[in-house]
Amino acid sequence: MKKIGLPLSICLPLVAAPAPAADVAAGKAMVESFCSACHGINGISASPAFPNLAGQKEDYLRNALTAYRDGTRKAPIMNNMVAGLADTDIANVAAYLASLKRCE
């Protein structure tokens, strides 16, 4: 009987994937589609009713968005806006907004 060799890769232990880096391009696309009407295309809002987000600290943005999504920070507009976002979406959006030049 012929011996069938197994591909080597099957014998190697699985290596845990490192946490993926935030995808800034995906964050940009999301901000342009869903957030720019209020927060501006470059994260600088045209209206005093909406905060500027450009250049805000990444951790702060991530925490704020997570709190809106989970309802621990209440602002009906934002609670609705981010209700369906996954942690990865929030991380991507936060990374993109943090990368923008802030208003001076």
Q: Which residues inside 6-45 make contact with ligand HEC, applying CB under 6 A?
A: 34-35, 37-39
Cα→Cα distances 94→64, 69, 99, Å: 10, 14, 9
Q: How far is the CB of 79 from ligand HEC (least distance, A)?
A: 9
Rounded CA-CA distance 53/44 in Å is 6
Find the part of the chain contacting ligand HEC (CB under 6 A) among 3-11, 12-20, 70-78.
70-78
Of these, 22, 28, 40, 61, which contacts ligand HEC (CB under 6 A)? 61
Rounded CA-CA distance 87/84 in Å is 10
Tokens of 65: 């968005």
Which of 26/81 has CB closer to ligand HEC?
81
Classify 79 in phi/psi space as left (phi over 0), alpha (psi -120 to 50) or beta.
alpha
Binding site for ligand HEC (CB under 6 A): 34-35, 37-39, 49-51, 53, 61, 64-65, 75, 77-78, 81-82, 93
